[in-house]
């Protein structure tokens, strides 16, 4: 249902939310999110374009969230790469339908509304604060530290 | 959220459901659904491949539903072109997550479950039986007859 790009954008943002005060390099992000580096670069560009992340080039550069994790909804992330839209008027432009959607488009709109509710009510911060759940992208429950090839990265 | 292909497949199936006992030509389908003919041809191929429609080539040929409209769920249609899948195990293959999804993938799975419920509980027949709602794809509430350029088509 969701595109690969959407899944990758969510992974990247969850990864950055774990270290909100640090720049995380593209290499580290790619390893942690298991996203091909070239593909991730395009996703990061879209996230930066949407004002969700800040990037710094060069040695010691990388990416960080542009605002606090509890101020970024998952819906914001999805919206940066593949927005979920309610259906306001007949997509076929049928004049007598207008805002009175037919049952087909009413169902499609219901599905969009359900998805918007689920992702609009969850922030990046919410993903990290459930003590019972495994941390996103981390192959351990015990730590939020990022490791690459077994090394803890700053 | 849903691909253009999914939207077009749903339109085509709703259109065929209105005349379940007749073959509808590809030209008529394209006009009624407002889908470019080349694009629609590919969508029809996928729907036929999934066993949802039968086609007959040549003069007088066209397409019809392969089974009754009340036996085809919208989810079947979506499944033929872009299946909505629940997330059963960690998409990153993290060994300690396994079936215990992290909050990110739990939310994504919740969204998939909501969509599956909405489209899994609705048949093509349900789209046509609400007397209060406009008929899908028809620019009139009063008739289920298909018209092309003002002519009623058989």
Q: Which two tokens stand for residue B14?
A: 């709703």
Q: Which of B38, B54, B39, B29 has its CA nearest to residue B6?
A: B39
Position of tokens 């759940």? A133
- Identify whether A91 is part of a domain: no
Top residue of A103, A129, A139 to mutate, by most chain B CBs within 10 Å, is A103
- Picking from A85, A95, A103, the nearest residue to B130 by CB comes out as A103
The single-letter DSSP state of residue A144 is -
CA distance A135 to chain B (A): 6
Query: B144: helix, coil or strand?
Result: coil
- Identify whether B110 is part of a domain: no
Q: Which two tokens stand for residue B110?
A: 């919740």
pLDDT tier at B140, thresholds 50, 70, 90: very low
- Identify whether B101 is part of a domain: no
CATH number at residue A30: 1.10.10.10
Contacts of B82-85 with C-beta under 8 Å, sequence gap 24+, read B82/A1, B82/B2, B82/B3, B82/B5, B82/B6, B84/A1, B84/B112, B84/B115, B84/B116, B84/B119, B85/A1, B85/B112
Displacement of CA A59 from its chain's centroid (Å)? 26
Per-residue pLDDT for B3 more than 80? yes
Q: Residue B119: its pLDDT value, please?
A: 96
Q: Residue B132: its pLDDT value, please?
A: 72
- Picking from A93, A107, A134, the nearest residue to B97 by CB comes out as A134
Q: Which two tokens stand for residue B52?
A: 């949802």
Expressed as residue numbers, the domain containing A53 is 4-83+123-152
- Identify whether B130 is part of a domain: yes
B65 near B72, Cβ under 8 Å? Answer: yes
Per-residue pLDDT for A143 more than 50? no
Per-residue pLDDT for A79 more than 80? yes
Q: Residue B74: its pLDDT value, please?
A: 97
Whether B119 and A106 lie within 8 Å, measured CB to CB: no
- Identify whether A9 is part of a domain: yes
Q: Which residues of A touch B114 (CB under 8 A)?
A: 111, 114-115, 118
Distance CA A140, CA A39 (A): 26
B56 near B108, Cβ under 8 Å? Answer: no
The domain total for chain A is 1
At B44-54, the pLDDT tens digits run 999 999 999 99
This prediction's pTM: 0.83
pLDDT tier at A138, thresholds 50, 70, 90: low
Q: Residue A139: its pLDDT value, please?
A: 52
Distance CA B95, CA B93 (A): 6
- Identify whether B127 is part of a domain: yes
- Picking from A82, A104, A141, the nearest residue to B96 by CB comes out as A141
Distance CA A104, CA B77 (A): 12
- Identify whether B114 is part of a domain: no
Displacement of CA B55 from its chain's centroid (Å)? 16
- Identify whether B88 is part of a domain: no
Q: How many CB atoms lie within 10 A of CB B58?
A: 6
């Amino acid at each position: 249902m969701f595109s690969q790009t959407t899944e990758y954008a969510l992974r990247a943002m969850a990864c950055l939310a774990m270290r909100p005060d640090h720049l995380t390099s593209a290499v580290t992000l790619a390893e942690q999110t298991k996203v091909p580096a070239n593909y991730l670069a395009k996703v990061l560009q879209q996230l930066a374009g949407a004002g969700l992340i800040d990037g710094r080039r060069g040695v010691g550069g990388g990416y960080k969230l542009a605002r606090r994790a509890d101020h970024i909804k998952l819906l914001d992330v999805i919206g940066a790469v593949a927005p979920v839209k309610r259906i306001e008027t007949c997509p076929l432009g049928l004049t007598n339908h207008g805002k009175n959607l037919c049952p087909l488009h009413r169902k499609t709109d219901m599905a969009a509304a359900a998805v918007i509710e689920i992702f609009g009510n969850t922030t990046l911060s919410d993903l990290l604060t459930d003590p019972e759940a495994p941390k996103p992208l981390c192959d351990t429950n015990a730590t939020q530290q990022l490791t690459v090839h077994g090394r803890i990265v700053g």
